[in-house]
Amino acid sequence: MIAIVGGGISGLSAAWYLTQASHACTLIESKPRLGGVIDTASWEGCVIEGGPDSFLGIKPEAAQLGKELGLDGELISSNDDRRVTYIWKNGRLIALPDGMMMMVPTKTWPVVTTPLLGWGTKIRMGLEYFRRPGGERPERSVAEFIEEHYGKETVDYLAEPLLSGVYGGNPRALSVNAVLPRFVEMERKYGSLTRGALEARKRMPPSGALFRTFRRGLGSLVEALEQRLAGGMMVVHAVAEAIERTGEGWRVHAGGEWVEASHVVLAIPAYAAASLLRPLDGELGRLLDTVEYSSSMTVALAYRPGRLPIEPDGFGFLVPGKERRKLRALTHVQNKFPFRAPEGYAVIRCFLGGAGKEAVLEESDEAILRGVMRDLREMIGLDAGPDYQRIVRWPRAMAQYTLGHAYRVKKIEGRVKGLRGVFLAGNAYGGIGVPDCIRTGRLAAEAIVRGGQEATR
Ligand SMILES: Cc1cc2nc3c(=O)[nH]c(=O)nc-3n(C[C@H](O)[C@H](O)[C@H](O)COP(=O)(O)OP(=O)(O)OC[C@H]3O[C@@H](n4cnc5c(N)ncnc54)[C@H](O)[C@@H]3O)c2cc1C
């Protein structure tokens, strides 16, 4: 029997790959529902995602898991032909220049003509092409790294809004080695990121969709896992409060009972794993506690046909922190994916919070909605209240890969190995996205099946 603590996608994936290898599992989840931050609702046929809405098409794990669960027919791709993302700057929305590989330009004309960047930055971007490799460099923050290549304006109006959409993070704190390792490699090899990106483009196979998801939302992945796991997995809805060694293995205390297990997978945030493991290894608890988290929230606003007085343009927009708005990002859901809303309906998904802006989670729903509607009125002229709204708060849900992340994870892995039979999974270690979390769950399962101890990445 394997005990898995945490019923988010990481824990569910571990359970799936373990039961596929004929291991019985008990899943311990503190909330009354499974899925963790994957939280799909529906309203009048609209898909309303409270947490993640999709996964990167280039990362195979989520689509692969979907296929294994019989959801291949449900997989859908983003409408990349409508893909325009805007950035809010000085009172207006400006389209991201064509050809950007995140914050790295690969086409000259769109950068020359964009009003998003000043002439100083544009000239700097052009000169960056001539940088030469400078050998191994010490770890830097994303902000230091991008500023060195393209200047501060690129940090403020490209790196910060793009990364806050993924990590809810602060580029001055995030480690470039952990968050953008491909760019670090390009710098090492070419000196210039622009040259590195152009070379990478040449070698890239014709790319598929940027984002993928399931027709009825990511919740269908959780639903399918729950159904298919029902035979081989027991679920205990209680907080795991303690872990102890027994003669042959381990036991986990949850809901007033002890769950006996040969192995334990902790698929919970690092700070939650820290409180369970501290009594077994104080240093491991301390290391896990140093993984920082940011808090964020989503506000979905849905409109019946004829009720939205504006024309939703592109996938949506990002708001740099420098612009001091409540809103951090907005998605026009029915533009980004097909099958998201019946004909004529419109769904707007807003992101709030993130590093340094967490206080918004403490506000009442009324205050949040008032603030969001004020921003929408001032930014895109939307003054009609929604027919449906859903506010979902995610306190301390996004791990932050801050400076020293790789070193920290290596130390954590080393100490967990010493416990023999305890495994970690989740977004604190080797990637924050849904596919990364599925991979951590699968790796923990594979290590248990093999009888080894390496997992996590
Ligand atoms: C708002 C938001 C939007 C996102 N958007 C995207 C996106 O579009 N694409 C993408 O790829 N990724 C996205 N992410 C990231 C991704 O969704 C998460 O990293 C991933 O789903 C985390 O899964 P997990 O299972 O590791 O953790 P969680 O989903 O946090 O699950 C952990 C579970 O453990 C339980 N738990 C904690 N402590 C205990 C305990 N002591 N006992 C029992 N149970 C416990 C919790 O209740 C929870 O259910 C987003 C994240 C957020 C918050």
pLDDT tens across 332-350, in order?
A: 999 999 999 999 999 999 9
38 CB less than 6 Å from ligand 1? yes
Task: Measure 397 CA to ligand 1 centroid, in angstroms.
Answer: 6
H helices of 270-357, in order, are 270-277, 282-289, 333-336
Q: 106: domain range?
A: 99-203
Residues 228 and 287 in one domain: yes
Task: Indicate if the pLDDT at residue 165 is higher than 90.
Answer: no
Q: Looking at the whole model, is its pTM more than 0.85?
A: yes
pLDDT value of position 454: 59
In a domain, 321, yes or no: no
**pLDDT band at residue 201 using 50, 70 and 90 as cut-offs:** confident
213 CB less than 6 Å from ligand 1? no
Last residue of one domain, picked from the residues 179, 203, 227:
203
For ligand 1, atom 30, the nearest C-alpha belongs to 36
> Which CATH number goes with the domain that contains 149?
1.10.3110.10
> Which CATH number goes with the domain that contains 226?
3.50.50.60
In a domain, 381, yes or no: no
Number of H helices, E strands in the chain: 17, 22
57 CB less than 6 Å from ligand 1? no
Tell me which residue has tokens 């019985």.
24
Residues 109 and 186 in one domain: yes
Cβ of 136: how many Cβ atoms within 10 Å? Answer: 6
pLDDT single digits (tens) 292-311: 999 999 999 999 999 999 99
- How far, in Å, CA of 328 to CA of 297, rounded? 10
In a domain, 366, yes or no: no
pLDDT single digits (tens) 130-147: 999 988 889 999 999 999
pLDDT value of position 167: 77
Task: Measure 431 CA to ligand 1 centroid, in angstroms.
Answer: 12
Task: Indicate if the pLDDT at residue 457 is higher than 60.
Answer: no
In a domain, 375, yes or no: no
Residues 285 and 405 in one domain: yes
pLDDT single digits (tens) 13-26: 999 999 999 999 99
Task: Indicate if the pLDDT at residue 413 is higher than 90.
Answer: yes
For ligand 1, atom 36, the nearest C-alpha belongs to 6
Residues 165 and 237 in one domain: no
With a CB cutoff of 8 Å and minimum separation 6, the contacts of 265 are 2, 3, 4, 5, 11, 14, 423, 424, 425, 441, 444, 445, 448
pLDDT value of position 244: 97
In a domain, 89, yes or no: no
Residues 288 and 406 in one domain: yes
6 CB less than 6 Å from ligand 1? yes
In Å, how far are 84, 114, 332 from 80, measured between CA atoms? 8, 21, 13
CB 341 within 8 A of CB 347: yes
Residues 6 and 124 in one domain: no
pLDDT value of position 456: 56
In a domain, 14, yes or no: yes
In a domain, 384, yes or no: no
Mean of the per-residue pLDDT values for the chain?
Answer: 94
Last residue of one domain, picked from the residues 203, 226, 260:
203
Residues 232 and 103 in one domain: no
Residues 144 and 225 in one domain: no
Residues 126 and 194 in one domain: yes
Domain count, the chain: 2
**pLDDT band at residue 356 using 50, 70 and 90 as cut-offs:** confident
- How far, in Å, CA of 322 to CA of 207, rounded? 33
**pLDDT band at residue 81 using 50, 70 and 90 as cut-offs:** confident
Cβ of 325: how many Cβ atoms within 10 Å? Answer: 18
In a domain, 223, yes or no: yes
49 CB less than 6 Å from ligand 1? no
- How far, in Å, CA of 361 to CA of 41, rounded? 20
**pLDDT band at residue 455 using 50, 70 and 90 as cut-offs:** low
329 CB less than 6 Å from ligand 1? no
